[in-house]
Amino acid sequence: MKLIRWIALSLFVALAAAGCSGSDGGGEVDRPAKATTTTLTIEQEVEAAFRKYLEVGEDAYLRLDTARLGEVLAGARLVAFSRDIEKLKADGTPLVTRMEHNYKVIAGDLPGQVMLRDDVVNHSVLTDSSGKALEPDPNERLIEIYTFERKDGAWKVVFAQRSRPDSQ
């Protein structure tokens, strides 16, 4: 089980908070805000893309559904992530992702690429189809490096690497 979890988590680490908006049902009509143009920095764009990646990935692992992965992944990373979800689906073991994230955008080595480093504490576990955990909380510290490229008008993860911090 640890090998399956390590493979699954090496392809994706997830827990994203989703926000909601809209009317509170109090009978008042929402009025559209005045149109403003806000220019985001590349760092802000990549941070938003990372949050979406976490959300889509969390959902894919939980539902064992690859349908939305192309929104946030590209190239070989998309193929590998999809293959991993299909393996978990065949085993009937969804992954419930729960992570503590501490990330920042860092300079990329190649033009057109942006990298993000995420120092995480992993609490994700494989479950059976009823949602019962099949393993204890790993409570492990990890360092994950993601490479983003702009593909089809959006920043997408094209490479990810995971390591454990030095235990010194």
Q: What is the pLDDT of residues 28-72, one digit of tens each?
A: 445 556 667 789 999 999 999 999 999 999 999 999 999 999 999
Give the single-character DSSP code of 2: H
pLDDT of residue 79: 97
E strand intervals along 1-153 = 95-96, 99-100, 103-106, 113-122, 125-126, 140-151
pLDDT given for residue 11 in this prediction? 38
Cα distances (Å, whole numbers) of residue 55 to 30, 134, 150, 164, 165: 27, 23, 19, 23, 25
With contact defined as beta carbons under 8 Å apart, do 93 and 122 qualify?
no
Query: Picking from 9-13, 62-66, 108-112, 120-124, which range would have the lowest pLDDT averaged per residue?
Result: 9-13
pLDDT at 2 over 60: no
Q: Which residues of 34-47 are buried (b: 16+ CB within 10 A; e: fewer)?
A: eeeeeeeeeeebbb
Is 104 a residue whose pLDDT tops 60?
yes
Specify the pTM: 0.77
